[in-house]
Structure 1
Amino acid sequence: MRAALFLIGPVLLFLGLSYLLPFLGIVELSFTDPQPGLAQYQKVLTDPLTLSVIARTLRLCILVTLVSVTAAYVITLLWVRGSPLVRSLTELCIMIPFWLSILSRAFGWLAMLSNRGLLNSWMKHLGLIDSSLQMTRNEFAVVVGMAHYLIPFAIFPLATAMRNVDERVLTAADGMGASRGRIFWQVFLPMTRSGILGATLLVFVFSIGFYVTPALLGGGQSVLIAELIYLWIFQIPQWGMAAAMSVVLMLAVGGILYVLMRRYGEMAK
């Protein structure tokens, strides 16, 4: 026991100094700036503008999570259960995005989706449209950019779950005359639900704190929580509001994670 504490002690100390102390400072700021009390939390939870940003953030994060996990599931199937050539190509496509920064990817989507971008130019050349479609500075561009960044992160928990599927169960279902579709929906998919939950939690937690991609692709038209906190800190000096929003965000994410993990624990019993 002492040996374990000796080994894990430095890690806990580092995490405490790196995360816990700064967070406690933010909590203190949320109760003291500009005046001591709960006024900042009251504004966060009652101000119509703030509530609209919170609602938009949750809506877009849920949509991004659904898109990312669904796309990641298909890609992971190709990676885990495809032919050797398909596996190699899929693995290359999974790894390449990690070589590019989030800023480079956001600018790449701007070049692709803007009014004079590649996608509008191709569609005009093919005669599919007469005038450019507005595909940036809106929620569509934000969802596309965020999902593109988060799909690779969702793949790894899904791949772990798929590789742990007992092939004997699938063989038994096939031997009993079940169709491939029925084997997938009633056998394979339920056996990978741990990976689905892990990917969902990972993507949702990442997406709720996104700043760069929504700021660039949304163009100020789809402000999310992280961008609002940035505005309160650097452009509108309301540090107390920014601190209160940060605390509310942390508590909300922690609560969601707790509920989902408890729910999955009950399902696994």
Structure 2
Amino acid sequence: MRDYLKPTLLIAPLLLFLAVAYIVPFLGVVSWSFTLPQPGIGNYTSAVTDPLIISVFVRTFRICLFVTVFAVIMAYAIALIWVRGTPTQRLIAELCILIPFWISVLTRAFGWVALLSNRGLINTWLTQLGAISEPLTLVRNEFGVILGMVHFLIPFAVFPIASAMRSLDERVLLAARGMGSSRTRTFLQVFLPMTAPGILGAAIMVFVFSLGFFITPAILGGGRSVMAAELIYLRIFQSPNWGLGAAISVLMMVIVGLLLTLLMRYARPKSMLS
């Protein structure tokens, strides 16, 4: 057996599993989008012209954009501590990154409801302190959705940023400091640009993940901040309009595919994962 065939045979079961588990069902969804309730492209026409669907797409991208910005900023700060902090700081940062992976998304969402609802801990404390006279509306709106999604996605954004930070050549930073550059200037003009691939990779990863969020927006949005994934669920299981739901799903997959192509093209994932 030729040497180059051995790796192919090793990954063949994985490729077969992925094809059966993902590609075949997706092709079925594509088929629904063109055949239900009648053959044609009517579902795609509705998806790009219906004001309700367009408003959901706009809300989805707006929320995902805010989530991406806030999550990446916070993840950058955590990654900086994790990579360049003292041993104690690194341990605390590592715990903050890893512990959330042990808690389900459903538990986190209901935890935020307990904190942010009108009778939740935050409103109760603020009322008892006399800071507010009426409860603040912190859930069943976009604010609650964004907060819950940012909390969930920060750990995912940390890893590509931390990988980019670890791959830096320390000699470049020492050279900048040796030439009289201040810490702030070195960070802004040397360190930050050199970690840009990790930032871009984290941003695209968070944006792609947030596009498909369902549980967190459904619970914290309370049906008032419907995102694309929830709309697909409503169209398939409650309307029902399987063809339109399938068309929206295909459009979302196309968008995710374009974003992943952008990641592979510009973020240099091999260098981030090295």
Q: TM-score range by the shorter chain?
A: over 0.9
- Per-residue deviation at 1:258? 2.4
Q: CA RMSD in A?
A: 1.3
For 1:153-192, list aligned pairs within 5 A.
153-192=156-195
Moved over 3 A (4+): 259-265
Shift of 1:197: 1.5
**1:136 deviation in Å?**
0.6
Correspondence 1:49 to 2:47: no
Question: Which has the higher mean CA deviation after the structures are superposed, 51-60 or 86-95?
Answer: 86-95
Letter in 1 for 2:134: S
Q: Return the alpha-carbon distance in structure 1 between the equivalents of residues 265 and 157 of structure 2.
A: 20
Count of residue pairs the alignment pairs up: 266
Report the equivalent of 1:243.
246
TM-score (norm 2): 0.94
5+ residue gaps, structure 1, are none
Kindly report which structure 2 residues correspond to 1:65-214, keeping only aligned pairs within 5 A, or say none. 65-214=68-217
Deviates more, 1:121-130 or 1:154-163: 121-130
Identical aligned residues as a percent? 59
User: 1:137-183 deviations in whole A, cap 9, x for unaligned?
Assistant: 00000000000000001011111111111111111111111111100
Tell me the TM-score normalised to structure 1 length: 0.96
Higher mean C-alpha displacement, 138-147 vs 160-169: 160-169
Query: How far has the Cα of 1:260 moved from its partner?
Result: 5.1
Q: For residue 261 of structure 1, report the CA deviation from its aligned partner.
A: 4.2
1:65, 1:117 → 2: CA distance? 27
What is the CA distance between 1:259 and its match in structure 2? 3.8
Give the superposition deviation at 1:263. 4.6
Distance 1:152 1:29 in 2: 36
Q: CA deviation at 1:22?
A: 0.4
Q: Distance in 2 between matches of 1:164 and 1:264?
A: 14
Q: Indicate the SS of the match to 2:43.
A: helix
| Map of 2:14 onto structure 1 | 11
**Equivalent pair of 2:197/2:266 in contact (CA under 8 Å):** no
For residues 168 and 4 of structure 1, the distance between their equivalents in structure 2, rounded to whole angstroms, comes to 37
